[in-house]
Amino acid sequence: MRREVFLRLLDDVQSANPYFRQKRDNKGQLSFSPHVKLTCALRMMAYGQVADSLDENFMMAESTAIENFGEFCRTIVIIYQQRYLRAPKREDLEWLLQRAERRGFPGMIGSLDCMHWRWKNCPTGWQGSFSGKSRKPTIVLEAVADFDTWIWHAFFGIPGTQNDITVLGRSPLFDALTEGQSPLLDYHINNHHYSMGYYLADGIYPKWATLVQAIRRPQNEAEAYFTTKQEAFRKDVEREFGVLQARWAIIRQPARGWSLENLSNIMLACIILHNMIVEDERADYYNGESDDDEPDLNRSRRARARILDEARENLERDPRSGRIIMSEYMSRYRMIRSPVGNRHLQDDLVQHLWSLRGQAP
């Protein structure tokens, strides 16, 4: 994390939470400075240090370190959740679609997968519902990541006994699209028009029109080539899980918390800080690329200073009651979960990628 990002965090948490402002106690002595409080919290996240290990270097007691860490995670989520854990807006989708087009997958807006975080201190009464195939209690994180490991969707807190299909059933990933609040897309594959984006996923996920899996048993060279490309680009989200755990050791180690709410704040805070670092470093690692058609990357810096647009697009409502029209809702619901749409989309992508391979030098 760069100095500029740390100083921005320092200013924001002090403005939002008085806990991080330096005060005097009843004896008139100054308490811990905001710099020390943030440094201790970030050390616990980045290195997975236990709370009592901070006493030697920072003179912070174990109970104070735990309280400080909890306040830090909760404050980060409150301040930055709407900015760094939001669904992509129209300009974000245009940027993602431009990159996906270069990779040979028009309309792709990310890859989807789940990660399990082991819960060491899971209450005894809950261990049966949280222990999956690993025989140890875990908590599931469902995430969508793009090519530069930015996390566009994070859904955390499902017991580890659930698989990816049941997690998807409870996830709000497609809620905005079903309600008509998500911007519609406009792209063509093999002269066929599509208005919904899709995610790359592994074979356990259902055959929906918004999910594209690899072909389990390819029958020809075109299908084998498509499967190779799909499996390669689907690794974006798995690579993101690796980067996230390498950057924040606290989620690489078993969770030592007792409260599911606190663990959720820790996970979301790690994801938010990860996205902040990705945003800060984008200009550096893109300047080294040879792709002259890369879109303007100062967009992220301008977006950081711009107020988030809360207006909802493409929302059809009954003017008398303000409720979503049920017929339109059910139509979009069936369209998203259409296995026929999944098969047509997959066939078009197979032919599209094979034609691009024939044009390659």
Beta-carbon contacts of residue 359 (< 8 Å; ≥ 6 apart): none
In this predicted model, what pLDDT tens digit does every residue of 24-70 receive, in sequence order? 877 778 888 999 999 999 999 999 888 888 888 888 889 999 999 99
Q: What's the pLDDT tens digit per position in 300-326?
A: 434 333 323 332 333 333 443 445 578
The whole-angstrom separation of Cα 52 and Cα 351 is: 59
Q: Which of 66, 117, 62, 90 is nearest to 264 (CA)?
A: 117
CB 154 within 8 A of CB 264: no
Helices (H), 104-142: 127-130
Q: How far apart are CA 204 and CA 213, in angstroms?
A: 9
First to last CA, the chain: 41
Spatial separation of the C-alpha atoms in residues 151 and 237, rounded to whole Å: 8
pTM: 0.85
Distance from C-alpha of 250 to C-alpha of 267, rounded to nearest angstrom? 9
- Predicted confidence pLDDT, tens digits, the chain (361 residues): 788 889 999 999 999 999 998 888 777 788 889 999 999 999 999 998 888 888 888 888 899 999 999 999 999 999 999 999 988 888 888 889 889 998 899 999 999 999 999 999 999 999 998 998 888 999 999 999 998 899 999 999 999 999 999 999 999 999 988 888 887 788 889 889 998 999 999 999 999 999 999 999 999 999 999 999 999 999 999 999 999 999 999 999 999 888 999 999 999 999 999 999 999 887 655 544 434 344 443 444 343 333 233 323 333 334 434 455 788 888 899 999 999 999 999 999 999 999 988 654 3
Q: Are 247 and 46 in contact (CB under 8 A)?
A: yes
Distance, in Å, from the CA atom of 24 to the CA atom of 42, rounded to the nearest integer, reads 24
Reduced to 3 states (helix: H, G, I; strand: E, B; else coil), residue 119 is strand
**What 3-state DSSP class applies to 233?**
helix
How do strand 138-145 and strand 151-159 relate by DSSP bridges? antiparallel
Q: Measure CA 47 to chain center.
A: 22
Question: DSSP labels for 34-64?
Answer: HHHHHHHHHHHHHH---GGGGHHHH---HHH
Contact 162, 174 (CB under 8 A): no
Dist CA 14 CA 70 (whole Å): 15
**Cα 108 to Cα 234: distance, rounded to the nearest angstrom:** 11
